[in-house]
Amino acid sequence: MTAFEDASGSSEARFEEMLEAVRGADRRALDRIFEVAYGELRALARSVRRSFPEDSLEISGLVSETYLKLLRARRISIADRVHFFSLVARAMRQILICRAQQKGRLKRGGGASRQALDESEVAAGPTLPLDELLTLQTGLERLAERDPRLAQLVELRFVEGLNESEIAAIFGLSARTVRREWSRARTFLEAELQRAPAARGS
């Protein structure tokens, strides 16, 4: 079961109602969403957590930290359920990157330039060195400014490990379109990964 199946079918309308309440600054609705989708949020946390094998934060702890991070936000702008889970995945990754920075573990990549995002890393979750994960996070933020939907697709594909058919169903697109969009996103992010070492050396 993917993180989105909990919000599908007969429960979709209820989930959308809760999202609308969150958009209206009803923080109790955020509590309800985390309760309803707790199993799926744990699965998502487990997927994101694979990229940080040295971190000791437990899965339940990561979900809790993510909840608190969203709760502290003055306003949460959520377009739909896809955006919600993408936002959660991003928050989880930010939490783990911040913890790695605080513990001084961001130099494991040795400054080597990553030339490409390995497709084999998608299904199991990305295994980039932590400094490259930080660069990827920055690249995703820049991509989101240019094309929010494309950034969401990357998070679903690269972070959550969903396949093209699952993503196509979520966005209402064909698998062929998802494949083409994924190629565009990879080109952009690979350029970011190659640009980062040059920027650090200048």
Q: Which residue has the higher pLDDT, 198 or 179?
A: 179
- CATH 1.10.10.10 domain locations along the chain: 108-202
Q: Read off the pLDDT band of 66 (50, 70, 90).
A: very high
pLDDT (tens digit per residue) in 179-191: 999 889 888 888 8
pLDDT (tens digit per residue) in 104-155: 755 444 333 444 444 444 433 444 565 666 677 788 888 889 998 888 888 7
pTM of full prediction above 0.85: no
pLDDT of residue 11: 66
d(CA 132, CA 114): 8
Any idea which fold 108-202 has? Arc Repressor Mutant, subunit A (1.10.10)
